[in-house]
Structure 1
Amino acid sequence: MHTRRNFLQQVAAATIAIPLSSLSSLAAVRARDGKVLRVALMGLGGYASRVAEAMQSCTKAKLTGIVSGTPSKIKDWQNKYGIPEKNCYSYDTFDQIKNNPDIDVVYVTTPNALHHNNVIRAAAAGKHVICEKPMALNAKEGREMIAACRKAGVQLLVGYRMHFEPKTLEVVRMRNSGEFGKILFFQGQCGFRIGDPTQWRLNKALAGGGSLMDIGIYALNGARYMVGAEPVWVTAQETKTDPVKFKEGVDETIQFQLGFPDGTVASCLSTYNMNNLDRFFLNGEKGFAELQPSTGYGPIRGRTHKGELTQPHKTHQTVQMDEMAGILLEGRQPVVPVNGEEALKDLQIIDAIYQAVKTGRRVDLHLG
Structure 2
Amino acid sequence: MSENQSRRSFLQNLGVGLGTTAAAFAVPSVMAVPEAPAPKDDKKLGVALVGLGSYAKNQLAVALENAKNCYLAAIVTGSPTKADEWAKKYNLPKESIYNYQNFDEIAKNKSVDIVYVVLPNSMHPEYVIRAAKAGKHVMCEKPMANSVAECDAMIKACKDAGVQLGVGYRMHFEPFTQEVMRIGQKKEKGNVRFMQTNFGFTIGDPTQWRLKKAMAGGGPLMDVGIYCVQASRYVTGEEPLWVTAQFGPITDKERFKDVEESVSWQMEFPGGAMVNGFTSYKSNIEQLYVSADKGWLQLSPAYSYGPIKGRSNDGEMKLPVVHHQTVMMEAICKEMIETGKFPKHIDGDEGKRDMKILMAIYEAAQTGKRISLV
Q: Same fold (TM over 0.5)?
A: yes
SS class of match (1:135): coil
The correspondence of residues 178-217 of structure 1 with structure 2, limited to 5 A, is: 178-217=187-226
Alignment-mate amino acid for residue 362 of structure 1: R
Q: Structure 1 residues 48, 288: CA separation in 2 closer, same or farther (over 3 Å shift)?
A: same
Q: Report the CA distance between 1:332 and its aligned residue.
A: 8.3
Q: % of aligned pairs identical? A: 46
SS class of match (2:322): coil
**Structure 2 residue 326 is the aligned partner of structure 1 residue 318:** yes
The correspondence of residues 243-262 of structure 1 with structure 2, limited to 5 A, is: 243-248=253-258, 250-262=259-271
Q: Aligned residue for 2:290?
A: 282
| Structure 2: distance between partners of 1:37 and 1:258 | 40
Q: What CA deviation, in whole Å up to 9, does each residue of 1:110-147 have, x standing for no partner?
A: 00000010100000000000000000001110011001
**Structure 2 residue 352 is the aligned partner of structure 1 residue 354:** no
Q: What CA deviation, in whole Å up to 9, does each residue of 1:279-320 have, x standing for no partner?
A: 001111011110000011011000122221111111001111
Checking the alignment, whether the CA contact within 8 Å between 2:226 and 2:354 is kept in structure 1 is: yes
Q: Report the CA distance between 1:333 and its aligned residue.
A: 8.3
Q: Aligned residue for 2:252?
A: 242
| Structure 1: distance between partners of 2:342 and 2:315 | 26
Q: Structure 1 residues 146, 333: CA separation in 2 closer, same or farther (over 3 Å shift)?
A: closer
Q: Aligned residue for 1:339?
A: 347
SS class of match (1:192): strand
The correspondence of residues 98-177 of structure 1 with structure 2, limited to 5 A, is: 98-177=107-186
| Structure 2: distance between partners of 1:167 and 1:91 | 38
**Structure 2 residue 312 is the aligned partner of structure 1 residue 300:** no
Q: Report the CA distance between 1:329 and its aligned residue.
A: 2.0
| Structure 1: distance between partners of 2:117 and 2:91 | 20
SS class of match (2:73): strand
Alignment-mate amino acid for residue 320 of structure 1: M
Q: Report the CA distance between 1:335 and its aligned residue.
A: 8.2
- Deviant stretches of 4+, over 3 Å: 332-336
Q: Aligned residue for 1:92?
A: 101
SS class of match (2:101): coil
SS class of match (2:202): coil
SS class of match (1:56): helix
Checking the alignment, whether the CA contact within 8 Å between 2:185 and 2:235 is kept in structure 1 is: no
Q: Report the CA distance between 1:237 and its aligned residue.
A: 0.3
Q: Report the CA distance between 1:242 and its aligned residue.
A: 1.6
Q: What CA deviation, in whole Å up to 9, does each residue of 1:203-249 have, x standing for no partner?
A: 1111111110101111011111012211010110001222210013x
SS class of match (1:246): coil
Checking the alignment, whether the CA contact within 8 Å between 1:225 and 1:336 is kept in structure 2 is: no
Q: Aligned residue for 1:5?
A: none
Mean CA deviation greater in 277-286 or 336-345? 336-345
Structure 2: runs of 5 or more not aligned = 1-33
SS class of match (2:345): coil
Q: Report the CA distance between 1:44 and its aligned residue.
A: 0.5
Checking the alignment, whether the CA contact within 8 Å between 2:165 and 2:342 is kept in structure 1 is: no
Q: How many residues align?
A: 337
| Structure 1: distance between partners of 2:238 and 2:340 | 22
Q: Structure 1 residues 253, 336: CA separation in 2 closer, same or farther (over 3 Å shift)?
A: farther
Q: 1:44 aligns with which of 23, 47, 52?
A: 52
Alignment-mate amino acid for residue 44 of structure 1: L
| Structure 2: distance between partners of 1:126 and 1:333 | 14
| Structure 2: distance between partners of 1:327 and 1:92 | 32
Q: Structure 1 residues 148, 287: CA separation in 2 closer, same or farther (over 3 Å shift)?
A: same
CA RMSD of aligned residues (A): 1.6
SS class of match (1:59): coil
Alignment-mate amino acid for residue 47 of structure 2: V
Alignment-mate amino acid for residue 281 of structure 1: Y
Q: 2:67 aligns with which of 55, 58, 61?
A: 58
